[in-house]
Structure 1
C-alpha cells in the first residue's frame, strides 16, 4: 500500500546521476545517467551548428513552438517552451497559486526541490515495493491542489496506466505528469501528451534523454492555455536559446520521431537482456515491470556494491536519494548488449567481494 509522508530531510534531493560521472570518473562506463548513448546524432548536430549563424538575433521560438504543437496535435496556445523540464518545475512551483502540493514518490526529485525552494510544504505519497511501485489513485489526498507524478517513473521505470493517472484530476487541482522518458517507450501507449479532456492536466516533456541534449536545456509544457500563459509570464525574456529552439524544431520532424521510435524498440530489447541477466543473481530483485530506459534493482549492501563496481569501471546511480528507497537500491541505465554483459560480469565480482 502507498504511504503518506511529510518529512523532507532524509534524502539529498539535489543529487542526480551526473554526480557519478564527475571528478574521478575518467574511464568509467556510465550506467548512472539515463541519456541515450551515441547522441546527439550527426544530423541533429548539423542542425544545431547551422543555427549558430543566427546568434546575433534574439531567439524566435515561434517555429519550434508550432512544431511541438503539430507533433502532439494541439494548438500553439497549449505549448510553452522551456529551458529543460527543470525550468518547468520551478515555474510550476512559483507561478501557480499552490497551497497543498503532493508528490508521488519514488520519482525524480527536482519537482519537490523546486516546491520546497519556493516555500511550499510538500506531502509525499510513497508507492510501495510490495505493490510494484504501481500508482494507487486513492492514496492521493483529496485536498491536494497540485499533484506531480512521473510516467514512466524515474527511478522505478514503472509505466502507469493513463486512465489511472487521469483519475487524479479534480476541479481546482493541477495534475502534473512528467513524461520525460515517454518517448523511450515504444508507441507511447500511456501518454497523456495531446489529451485535452483531463481538467488541470500539465504534461512535461524533455529532449534530453532520447537526443542527448542535457547541455542544451530544452523541454516543453503542454497545458491549458490559461496555465501556459501564467507560466509564460513567470519566464524571463528569451528563455530558450536559438540552438535549443533549432533542436526542438528538428526533433519534431517525422523522420526524427521515427528514429526515436526505433531507438525505443532497441532499448526494450536491451532492457529485457539486462533484466534476464539480473534474474540470474539470487541476491538481486528487480522491478520487473520496467518500461523505461533504466532498471531499478534491490540488493543487500547496494552502496558497497556500487563502490566496488566503480573500481571495476562502472558508474551506477545510488537509490537512497529517492524518497521511498534506501541504500539497498541501485538504478541501472540500459545499454547495448556488449556493455551489459561486461557489467554483469563486474556485478558478479562485486557481489562476491562485498559478501552478498
Structure 2
C-alpha cells in the first residue's frame, strides 16, 4: 500500500512511506476494550452517549415490535430523514449503520485512486480493501494538530474519505475547506457520525450537498447520540443517482422495522432539540475535562488538538500503553491509539463524560502518572 501526503512521522511529501496497522488491526474498535467486563470498568473507550437510549425512544422501539410480522417499509423513515435535512426523499439511503454504507460505497463506486485521510475511523479503508481497492493514505501530522489542508489530498484521487469531526482526533474541519476537495470526476465521502454532537451541527457539509461539483456523499449514524449501537441504523445522503447505485448493492429489506422506527423518531423536531441540548452538554463537559488534563501536562500528557469539537479526546503520553494498562487496573477503560493509521502506542482516546466521572478518571490518571518514574 502506498502512503501519500503528510506522514505523521516526518515532513510532508508525496509518496512518503509510513507504517500502519495491518488489515486485521483495522477491525479493532473501542468495544473490544470493554467487551465482557460488565460493570467492572468505567467505559471511556466507546463514544456512545451515556444514559441512552432515552425512555421515549425505548417506548417507540417497543411499540414497533407489534409490526414485526410485516416486511419493513422504509418510506416513512426516508421521508422523515429527508425533511430533517431539507432534501428530497430520493437523496436518502437508510443503512444498517454507517458501517454498511462504507461497504456499499466500496462495492458500488468505481475508484481507481481512492484516498483515505488518517487518522480516522478505520472501517472505510477496511471496506475498500475488502472490495479489492488499493488504498492510499494521507497521514495528518500531530505537529499540525491533525488538521487537513486541501492540498494534502493528491489531485489524482478520484475517491476521498474524511471524517468530520474526525474520530479519534476530535478535529472539526471547516466546511469550506472540505468543499474545496469536491471536484468533477471525484467522489467525496464525509463521515459525519459525530457531527450531531457539535452544537448547531456546525461544519456539516449537508447544506452544500446540492452545490458541490462531482459526487458528494455524507454519512450519518444514530449510534452515538441515541445509544443505538446494537440496533444498527444510519444513512447516506447524496444525489439520487448515487443513492440508487448504493441501494443496488443492498439486499432486500436491509434495515429492520425497529431501526426504521428509530430513524423516523430521531428526525422529529423534539428529538433534534434533545440532541442539540446534548451537544451543548458535551461542550461544557469537554471543557471541564480539558481543564483537568491541563493540570497533568507537566507529567507528559498532551491533547491532540487545541480545539477539540467531538465528544471524545485523543490524548498523548510517551508511555501511553503502560498508562492504559494501569488505568484498567484502577477501573477505567480507554481506547488504544495504535490501531489508527498515523498514530502509535503513544496515544489513547477517551470519551467525554459527566464531570463526576471526569474527576474520578483524572484522579486515577494522576495516580498512574505519579507511579511511572519508579518503573524507569
The alignment's TM-score, normalised by the length of structure 2, stands at: 0.93
Gaps of 5+ in 1: none
Residues 5 and 123 of structure 1 are in contact (CA less than 8 Å); yes or no, is this contact kept in structure 2?
no
Residues 169 and 201 of structure 1 are in contact (CA less than 8 Å); yes or no, is this contact kept in structure 2?
yes
Structure 1 position 139, deviation (Å): 1.1
Rounded to whole Å, the distance in 1 between the matches of 2:100 and 2:28 is 17
Task: Say whether residues 1:14 and 2:31 are aligned partners.
Answer: no
| RMSD value, Cα | 1.3
Matched residue, 1:308: 326
Which of 247, 265, 270 lines up with 1:250 in the alignment? 265
Structure 1 position 8, deviation (Å): 7.3
Rounded to whole Å, the distance in 1 between the matches of 2:92 and 2:34 is 33
Structure 1 position 6, deviation (Å): 6.6
Residues 204 and 220 of structure 1 are in contact (CA less than 8 Å); yes or no, is this contact kept in structure 2?
yes
Comparing 294-303 with 9-18, greater Cα deviation is found at: 9-18
Matched residue, 1:91: 104
Which of 206, 210, 214 lines up with 2:229 in the alignment? 214
Residues 327 and 333 of structure 2 are in contact (CA less than 8 Å); yes or no, is this contact kept in structure 1?
yes
Matched residue, 1:66: 79
Task: Say whether residues 1:285 and 2:302 are aligned partners.
Answer: yes
Matched residue, 2:204: 191
Structure 1 position 170, deviation (Å): 1.4
The alignment's TM-score, normalised by the length of structure 1, stands at: 0.98
Residues 20 and 342 of structure 2 are in contact (CA less than 8 Å); yes or no, is this contact kept in structure 1?
no
Rounded to whole Å, the distance in 1 between the matches of 2:356 and 2:56 is 26
Matched residue, 1:2: 6
Residues 102 and 147 of structure 1 are in contact (CA less than 8 Å); yes or no, is this contact kept in structure 2?
yes
Please identify runs of 4+ aligned residues in structure 1 that moved more than 6 A.
none
Rounded to whole Å, the distance in 1 between the matches of 2:359 and 2:173 is 29
Residues 275 and 288 of structure 1 are in contact (CA less than 8 Å); yes or no, is this contact kept in structure 2?
no
Structure 1 position 145, deviation (Å): 0.7
Change (3 A) 1:6 1:60: farther
Which of 259, 273, 289 lines up with 2:288 in the alignment? 273
Change (3 A) 1:290 1:9: closer
